[in-house]
Amino acid sequence: MTTTHHPPGAARAWAGLVFLLIPALLVSMDLSILFVAAPAITEDLAPTATQWLWMMDVYGFVLAGLLVTMGGLGDRIGRRRLLLTGAALFGAASALLALAPDAAWFIAGRVLLGVAGATLAPSTLSLIRAMFDDPRRRAAAVGAWTVAFTGGSVLGPILGGALLEFLPWNSVFLINLPFMALLLVGAPFLVPESRDPRPGGFDLLGAALSLVAVLGLVNAVKRFAEYGADPWAGICLLAGALFLTVFVVRQRRTAHPLIDVGLFARPAFAAAVGGNTAVSFAAAGLGLLTFTFLQAVHGLSPLEAALYSLPAFAGTLAGATLAGMTAHRARPGLLMAGGLAVGAAGFGIVATLEPDTRLAVLIGAYTLLTFGIGVVATAANTLVLATAPPERAGAAAGISETSTEFGAALGIALLGTAAATVYREAMEREGVAGPAAETVAGALAEAPGAADPAALLDAAFAAQTAGFTTAALAGAAVMAAMAVAVAVSLRRLPPGTGEPALGERAQESV
């Protein structure tokens, strides 16, 4: 038993879940809210090009790098204690950002926000593991958490767009403060404390190794995307791989490992982490391109584009609800593979779009793929919590969310690069040069002074659509391949459990 108190009754547990959904929503929302706030922040703070990259990226970098460490720390000092500490820190960082007078202050605030976010995300998921012993209730609770965590990236631009219609950019961060205050007041009464009863020492060296490994690999991906195979990208990749290898070796040998790397030998755990990585890769990579497509090719405002994405949130909700309701009677392999296949079909439809295709087709396809993502993410997170030892729930949740963040960074970098390459090549074939040949935003800016504005925009919209559909096709391929891998690796896993079937358990014990 890992809780310091008995698990709460059903009513108290569901009430406590509401407070755990708040940080899950805000942590992911603060990744995407800058999509619409970026122009106003840039105008006010006037960052350099390098500073602007750090302003956009550093939150995700720090968040991804510390998730495993903070998950392991919560297992040892108490997950609720870490949650409340993170909530106070998240509120302080939000206030710091809202008051930022310059770019350097803003970057410092985003770093602090990333540290706070890393304490919140694994704490919420691991506390759900302790609060819901019944597998059916746990699956439903994880489904709600999945909607909050994945839906935050959709709601971020919507909320940001609505706030910016009436308020300055500072408001997109000040909105966090009342929610964090509510969490600090309510969680101590409704969320029971939970920790490893025999925590042992904390692997500080392992935490440092994991941080450097994740930061190196994520930075390498982004560097390759922005500058190609330059020396710094190669150095980051090699450093990340080296530190990851040393981290794994150390976790196998140390008396008190930060994570149990043997978890990856369990097909259920490995498939869950792989499924999370695949859906975040495809969804994040296409998500950023979708907002550009809606605003540039279809001429929507940021708020209009965000509102058009509301059905995507409904798709995630429906998928997560279905997974939570059927987890006790459907085989996990069938559920996850089916969700991946549905998501791949949605991407496949997006890959058929033309510049003049009705928006309803795009919105319908995007809702279909988010439905599949909701199914996969809920089933995957349920498997992670069910297969990991209860005393290591925080570290396991950290691994799952790190895979999500890394998949998202990889998707934005690789699919974004693929789309940009297709755009440039298409514009070069049309004989276009200058900024208009680099981005569709450049074409929109140059069109008023062009000899034939309509022809330039037609070429740019066609090229942007070709890049968009190429990225969608790549996403469909990744999800289809993962669907096959998951179906094979989880074929023996029975319904309603994260434990291996008898035959598989026997194999694992050999």
Please give the Cα distance from 100 to 121 (Å, whole number).
25
- Provide mean pLDDT across the span 432-448: 81
276 and 237 in one domain? Answer: no
Whether 434 maps to a domain, the answer reads: yes
- What pLDDT does residue 97 have? 92
- Provide mean pLDDT across the span 103-121: 88
370 and 439 in one domain? Answer: yes
State the pLDDT confidence band at 394, using cuts at 50, 70 and 90.
Answer: low
Whether 2 maps to a domain, the answer reads: no
243 and 143 in one domain? Answer: no
Q: Has residue 504 got a pLDDT over 50?
A: no
Per the CB < 8 A criterion, the answer to whether 110 and 94 are in contact is no
Q: Has residue 421 got a pLDDT over 60?
A: yes
Listed residues 180, 202, 224: the one ending a domain: 202
**pLDDT tens digit sequence for 302-361:** 678 778 878 887 888 888 888 878 877 778 888 889 999 999 999 999 999 998 889 899
130 and 67 in one domain? Answer: yes
State the pLDDT confidence band at 391, using cuts at 50, 70 and 90.
Answer: low
Q: Has residue 208 got a pLDDT over 90?
A: no
- What pLDDT does residue 35 have? 66
Task: Note the maximum CA span of the chain.
Answer: 74
**Nearest 5 degrees, angle CA 152-CA 156-CA 160?**
160
* Burial (CB count within 10 angstroms: exposed 0-12, middle 13-18, buried 19+), residue 394: buried
3-class state of residue 449 by DSSP: helix
Listed residues 257, 287, 320: the one ending a domain: 257
| Angle of the 176-190 helix axis to the 10-32 helix axis, nearest 10 | 160
Listed residues 161, 185, 202: the one ending a domain: 202
- CATH assignment of the domain containing 389: 1.20.1250.20
Q: Has residue 505 got a pLDDT over 60?
A: no
State the pLDDT confidence band at 392, using cuts at 50, 70 and 90.
Answer: low
420 and 431 in one domain? Answer: yes
Q: Has residue 90 got a pLDDT over 60?
A: yes
3-class state of residue 3 by DSSP: strand
**pLDDT tens digit sequence for 35-44:** 667 777 877 8
pTM, whole model, 2 decimals? 0.73
| Closest to 50 in 3D by CA, of 1, 107, 109, 8 | 107
Residue 42 to residues 48, 177, 278, 450: CA-CA distances in angstroms? 9, 23, 32, 27
State the pLDDT confidence band at 79, using cuts at 50, 70 and 90.
Answer: confident
Show the domain range for 239.
205-257
Whether 383 maps to a domain, the answer reads: yes
437 and 339 in one domain? Answer: yes
Instruction: Look at the block and give the residue holding tokens 């998500």.
Output: 287
- Provide mean pLDDT across the span 151-170: 78
Whether 78 maps to a domain, the answer reads: yes
| Closest to 93 in 3D by CA, of 153, 30, 152, 28 | 30
Cα pseudo-dihedral 378, 381, 387, 388, rounded to 10: -160
Please give the Cα distance from 509 to 491 (Å, whole number).
18
- What pLDDT does residue 510 have? 31
- Which 3-state string (H, E, C) describes 197-249? CCCCCCCHHHHHHHHHHHHHHHHHHHHHHHHCCCHHHHHHHHHHHHHHHHHHH
Average model confidence (pLDDT) across the chain: 80
Cα pseudo-dihedral 147, 187, 183, 12, rounded to 10: 50
**Nearest 5 degrees, angle CA 206-CA 207-CA 213?**
85
Instruction: Look at the block and give the residue holding tokens 């009430």.
Output: 15
Per the CB < 8 A criterion, the answer to whether 289 and 471 are in contact is yes
Cα pseudo-dihedral 92, 98, 102, 106, rounded to 10: 50
219 and 311 in one domain? Answer: no
Per the CB < 8 A criterion, the answer to whether 335 and 327 are in contact is yes
Q: What are the residues facing 109 on neighbouring strands? A: none
Whether 498 maps to a domain, the answer reads: yes
406 and 345 in one domain? Answer: yes
Whether 1 maps to a domain, the answer reads: no
| Closest to 207 in 3D by CA, of 74, 116, 387 | 74
Q: Considering just the CA atoms, what is the radius of gyration of the chain in Å?
A: 22
335 and 249 in one domain? Answer: no
Tally of domains within the chain: 3
69 and 98 in one domain? Answer: yes
Tokens of 505: 């358990």
212 and 185 in one domain? Answer: no
443 and 467 in one domain? Answer: yes
